[in-house]
A and B are shown apart, each in its own frame.
Chain A
Amino acid sequence: MLERVQSERIQSDRTMIDIRDVTRSYGSFKALDNASLAIREGEFFSLLGPSGCGKTTLLRMIAGFDTPTSGLIAVDGQPMDGIPANRRPTNMVFQSYAIFPHLNVEQNVAYGLKRLKLAAGEEKRRVEEALAQVSLTGLGKRRATELSGGQRQRVALARALVMRPKVLLLDEPLSALDKKLRGQMQVELRRLQQAVGITFVLVTHDQYEALAMSDRIAVMFGGRIAQVASPKEIYQRPVNRQVADFLGGMNFVKAEIVEENGASLLLDTLGFGRVRTDKPKAFVRNGGAATLGIRPERLRVLWDNASAKFEVAGKVVERHYFGEITHLIVEIPGLEKPLSVTETNDFGADDIPVGAPIRLAYDPEALVAMAD
């Protein structure tokens, strides 16, 4: 099951949603500032960012609940300006789920079909099919008020999917669920998307959610799109400190650019010495300074006499226990900020005394250069 969820999938390169130079201003405030994006057909795409970054504004403009101040949005090649929400080939799962409380589950799911004037049998068949897709078979007669949070969300999904939209928009669909259910729904949403093959656009502020479910992610800050890439690339090769920081813990080390060519950078750092790293695609040099980053889990504790080709030595100044992992804060001579290290507890990282000398191994591949 897991393999299927994580397996690579055939995707077309055809653009489903074309967002071109879209700006949305409220007076002098720009909720979205000149955003351009091409979302592919059949893709699970996430808009990730802190609250107020413009991700929901963008989603609502795709749905037709908001209008760009300037710029163009096209869905499946058709420009969307002037087309109201009720005539767009998109459907949305709302953050509050927006289940109609005066209707039962079946009537909620059939709501949009009523206008299509399908044959009675056909409508019933499609409702049944949609309920089956979200594992709600048999609950059709339940009142909306008798459903749990997870079930409400499934009804919202079925109600949108039954319309067979070209694009399904999801506005923070998992934020109201508890942690365990959220994890389960992540897997299920991903599986559902693969099964129906519809383009999904998810808005979330939860980086793990975006990493776990998406084919590609757009990270947004302050109304601008900072980076668009696969989860792995976003996590491992963030374009700047802001993206790196938002996607989980990252140690930042000051660096001097010694040499720059087409594909790589040669950097001088205090703790890590002279390192050569890949040059990020969007790297724009800002003077001679740059930042070198390394994720806490890419630093490994060297036990006893073990040695590694690349290592740094220092002293443990803090230790925090998190069950399966231990978080160490390590002071390295020459570095202005101590390094943060996460180590699994299999070998007793939770027993390392504070104040003990320590050596850390790293893979130079894990070092990532970022523009300052």
Chain B
Amino acid sequence: MTATRRFLPGWLSSYATLYILFLYLPVIFLPIFSINTAATPKFPLSGVTLHWYEDLPKTPALIDATWNSLIVGVSASILSTVLGILAARSITRYRYPGRRAINGLIMAPLVLPEVIVAISMLLVMLQLGLSLSLLTVVLGHVLVCIPYSMTVLTSGFEGFDRSLEEASADLGESAFGTFRRVTLPMVAPAIISSLLVCFTISLDEFIIAFFLTGTEATLPIYIWGQLRFAAKLPGVLALGTLLLFASFVLMTIAEILRRRAARRTQNEGGLYA
């Protein structure tokens, strides 16, 4: 054991470096080529420019796609968070037969092949007589967002000491007042975190949007469409860089909030006693 340990550190750290490199190299290429003056993504760079970024707001189709993505993202995140709150509250607060099974079923879309989910959703929508529009995209996104929303919310709700709500009632507060003054502030970080996670997922989601969208494209669909024209590639790279950056920031904030929520609800009792 000690012998292997002596040999391994060098190997392990180079392995770890390669691992990270492999994960993030493609991501690093994106911003690099997005500031290249030439339209073809090739080293060495022919020059540095922000030209491609400046062009973005001048493309009406892109502006439309951005608006569509925002509308879908906001609606999907609110809807899935509301549904997630109800489900997470029931799963963390009450004990009833089938609780685990229900939890499993809600989490399942996470591991289903997305193409299959998208095709089935398309079939259902058509059967229901819904014409494809942003609404159908929102419904599709709610389905894929709920597992993420549940994960974030259950970690925030878990360990919520029920006696906190009783203490509030005991001190004279009404049921609604208790919700407003105790329950909500305590789980607010988890709720905001869930909203951000769902928004980010919806913003980046392609397959379901591709199947369920009508004539209105979301950003990933717009990007997909642009890829047919070689000359548009730098613009796509610039847009991709911005999306990447926005997702990264949103997910970071979401994770910070999720941890804060988990800390809040779980620090009752022994830890600080």
> Which residues in A have some Cβ–Cβ distance to B below 8 Å?
63-65, 84-87, 90-92, 94-102, 111-112, 115-116, 145-149, 152, 159-160, 163, 176
> Which residues in B have some Cβ–Cβ distance to A below 8 Å?
161, 163-164, 166-174, 177, 181-182, 185-186, 264-265, 267-270, 272-273
Cβ of A101 and Cβ of B167 under 8 Å apart? no
One of A86, A145, A149 near B174 (C-beta < 8 A): A86
One of B174, B186, B273 near A102 (C-beta < 8 A): B186
Measured between beta carbons, the chain A residues less than 8 angstroms from B181 are 111
CB-CB nearest in chain B for A165: B170
Complex Cα distance A159/B170, Å?
A: 11
The main secondary structure of chain A at its interface with chain B is: loop
Cβ of A115 and Cβ of B173 under 8 Å apart? yes
Complex Cα distance A47/B172, Å?
A: 25
How far does the Cβ of B181 sit from chain A's closest Cβ, in whole Å?
A: 8
Measured between beta carbons, the chain B residues less than 8 angstroms from A87 are 172
Measured between beta carbons, the chain A residues less than 8 angstroms from B172 are 86-87, 112, 115-116, 163
Complex Cα distance A159/B169, Å?
A: 13
One of B163, B169, B177, B264 near A101 (C-beta < 8 A): B264
Given A96-B163, A101-B267, A102-B186, A152–B273 Cβ distance below 8 Å? yes
Cβ of A102 and Cβ of B264 under 8 Å apart? yes
Given A98-B161, A101-B186, A152-B273, A63–B170 Cβ distance below 8 Å? yes
The main secondary structure of chain B at its interface with chain A is: helix
How far does the Cβ of A289 sit from chain B's closest Cβ, in whole Å?
A: 47
Given A102-B185, A102-B186, A111-B171, A96–B272 Cβ distance below 8 Å? no
Cβ of A112 and Cβ of B171 under 8 Å apart? yes
Cβ of B170 and Cβ of A86 under 8 Å apart? yes
Cβ of B169 and Cβ of A85 under 8 Å apart? yes
Given A84-B169, A86-B173, A163-B171, A98–B272 Cβ distance below 8 Å? no
Interface centre among A63, A115, A148, A160 (most CB of B within 10 A): A115
Complex Cα distance A90/B172, Å?
A: 10
**Can you identify 29 A-B contacts, CB atoms within 8 angstroms?**
A84-B169, A85-B166, A86-B171, A86-B173, A86-B174, A87-B172, A91-B171, A92-B170, A95-B163, A96-B163, A97-B268, A98-B167, A98-B268, A100-B167, A100-B186, A101-B186, A101-B264, A101-B268, A102-B186, A112-B172, A145-B267, A145-B272, A147-B272, A148-B272, A148-B273, A152-B272, A159-B167, A159-B171, A176-B273
Question: Knowing that A85-B170, A111-B181, A159-B167 are A-B contacts, what are 20 other residue pairs whose CB atoms are under 8 Å apart, sorted by A's residue number?
Answer: A84-B169, A86-B169, A86-B171, A86-B172, A90-B170, A92-B166, A94-B167, A95-B163, A96-B268, A96-B269, A98-B167, A100-B167, A111-B173, A112-B172, A112-B173, A115-B177, A148-B273, A152-B272, A159-B171, A160-B171
Interface centre among B167, B172, B177, B186 (most CB of A within 10 A): B167
